[in-house]
Structure 1
Amino acid sequence: MADSWNTDTGEAVYRSRDAVKNLKIRVRIERVTSTAALSQHLQQHVLSQQDGGAIELETLTPQGQKGDNDEELVVGWQEKLFSQYEMELFQNESACQTPLDRQYLTEIRALNKAKGRRNHRIFTYTDHDRFTSCLPIQQLQYPTDLLTTTKSGPTFLAERMASVRNRRQERRTLDSSIPKSKIVIWEPTEEFVKNSHVVNNAMQTMHIMADLAPPGRLGQKENEYLLLTIKTDGSGTVIVKPDFNKGKEPYRIVTVGQKREVWRLNVENVCTAMQPEEKEREQNMYKDLYVRHKEYLNSLVGQDFEMPPLGILRYMMNGEIVSAKGFEYDNLYIHFFMELPNNWSSLPYQSHSGVTQTCRAKTLGKENVAFFSYPFSFEAFYMSEKESEEPILQWPVIYFKVLSLDSWQRYRTEGYGYLLFPAIPGMLCTLQ
């Protein structure tokens, strides 16, 4: 039996264009080591041997409630299913601290007046619940063959290493700003990127849980076990942990305690498949949308290519000052300007000069390199005095002046350079 368990409890990432509200998941749990099933088997064996004591044995037989040994539910995205603990907690108005708690109080009272909740052991924590972001760590760890782990204290080696691994924490001001002496982190750690990264898609989380307590003892927090975690963002990414069974063996859950009961878990995706007619209609809609967007872009660009006047060469240059290396001082910046020879002109609003930002150098090997990555563009016109096929006699020149800035805001000239406007596109030029 031990070989028929699914031990791959890693997360799976799915991408879908459909709305996440249509997500439906069937969850089934089944007790494998059941003391109730064993007592029932022994009782039937005794009843088959002696008929006289049948009434007495049936009287002493405990009547199990529906869902004690197995349960199957279809759960929708962010569908709230209350646990026995929540049913008892939110019946008291004094325990309701937030508007969400008072909403749960109203829903639970409505459930009690009706037929009751449709779930017995399986329940959910939605993204708005207070328990979603603060579940115990032992409920969120997946070892190789179990879905939950027991509570374990730190080992002797872990306690000794705790003092060694302590690092000096980065001091931040009251407004959580980084000191100006350490503006750029050249080798950021994974934790620094996680805490400082701006582009962070907000994920919505949902936990499907189960109360695996013995029959008659439901409603205790220590008996709650995590079955499934679902996360999604606004871009159509859905993360499921563990993955759907997809015909594979079920997962195994081992409870904590003296009995250490074993439960079987099956997770299936039961979303309604799109009909072929609806799928074709959706594809046609996307095609129509793409065609309209393409027509809109073409209307912005226009169909006619803008030609220069007769006898005039239009020169457009898009360049980038990438880096500077080999200079003595730090805090470098570059001042550049263009010189146009005879028969060359530019537009009245066209700037002929520019200044890069101040950049600190980074050591690469034996060189100190300052990376600017400064883009610039320039447009010029050449007008020929007479019609001829002779090449252009003189090209415009771009001059560079490298300067450094010290702590007293004084600048020093570090070097000069010049470059002719390239006649071939896509050239990488290096100035010595």
Structure 2
Amino acid sequence: MNNFDRNNKVTGVHWLKSPIKNISIKIRLKPHEGIKTLPKFETYKNDSNSTIQQVENIKIEEYEFQWQEKAFSLHEIQRYSDVHNCISENELTYHDLLEDTDYQPSKIFTYIHHDYHLPMPVNKIKKPTSGSDILNLNSCLEKLNLSEKVFREDTSSMAHLFRSEESIASDEKWTSMHVMYDNSEYNEDSQLLLKQETTLLSLYHNVSLNYLIVSPDVNSLDLNPYQLETGYEYAVDLDFERLDGEELLVLLKKLSTKWEKRHKQLLKFAMPPLGRRHYCVTLEILSATDFDFDNLYVEFHIKVPEELQCSDVLHGRTHISKSNTNYSEKYWNFGHLVELNLDGPLNIDPPPLKLFFEIISTDWWGRQRTEGYSYLALTPRPGRYSRQLSCSRPEELNHCEGEGRRFFVGGCHLIRDLEVLVQPQLQDANFKFTTTGNLFIRWSTIAQSPLPGFKPAPSQVSHSSALLRGAEAVLRQYRRARARLAEATRDFNVQETVFGSDDDD
């Protein structure tokens, strides 16, 4: 994509496929007077050899720079060599660099990004797409500010729907580099008399979209050289270095590793091992009603049967909830989520999980009272379910003493083993149960099994040993059946042979 400026110089945009540091910048410079001093036809006819030699003796100077490579002019060396002229940190860095290295001045020098020679571009260049209509549509959509309201009462203008180009360009990050020609005047002692310099090439790299603006663009010294007022002409050439085979292979491996890590973060699904079934249970503790005291929270205990394996936390509690006054009855909202990942054998239906809930109230004195217990036998059957659990609270047989202890110190824990809720006949005779409030829960279950014919991953080879042992057992049974069949048909084969001998006689 090229554009012409007022000086008939082409501005080019190059979309980069390799790192910007791999770009090599080449400037070829030659005097323009060599072409003007060509002799006339009569002179050329008389002394053609000398004329051709004169044209061939035109010297072409070549300068090559890497991205952000600093080259100093004569007046820069004189300035930065004196530490009293260096104020900024960048100037002090140049001073140390000149002190450590013997730099030769050059009439072709560079300004890098930290020199801030020229301002950055303010126009945002879009990446080309197929079709001008799509390009115009994308540019209009990106200018729309959808976060604001479309209609306002204070104005009828629609200008607020569009963002300015300055605000768009300010979000981008640019780096620049300039190649300069030193045309300054010096005296016999190389002291600067008049500072003059001309910009040969400007490079602007858009870090966000990874494209390079080249002004002027690449050209040819023989066909279309750029002219300088000082009597020189020059050409620009950019060498986008390519990666060799080994470097490209290393880069692809790094990209593959990075992609795998990113893929694992985005895709958490994993195929269950062979012979195993995976269960995903999502339990929601929704709300509670009809309890005596306020400021309730729920503690839950989950017991997993031996047939299932679970690495998640099986004990926890919800936040403290105050009663909602928008309802005629007391209502507490929790909305607590519990996720369980279970793993079990494929050929059997697992027994249910044991879920125990304890509803506890707190007061301003720091006392905590048990408001009720509830039990649920959750079978990991796929589907979505909801349940209203009725809660009951253990009370002491001496009602007056129990209520007094409950009021002053919050009561005492009469249930030491939650299995009493599963089998009430195991309860101690020192307390009884009283019905209190209700607890509302909801859960969803998903079961995942390996696909038939699924090839296990290397980490799943150990899980396939059970399947191989089963195949070996089937093969042994087949061998036994084949041996019994051979034993049963042996007499028949002998009798058939005897009958055959009679026919021959």
Between the two structures, name the one with larger relative contact order (CA 8 Å, sep ≥ 6).
1
Q: TM-score, normalised by structure 2?
A: 0.37
How does the TM-score come out when normalised to structure 1?
Answer: 0.42
Structure with the largest fraction of helix: 2
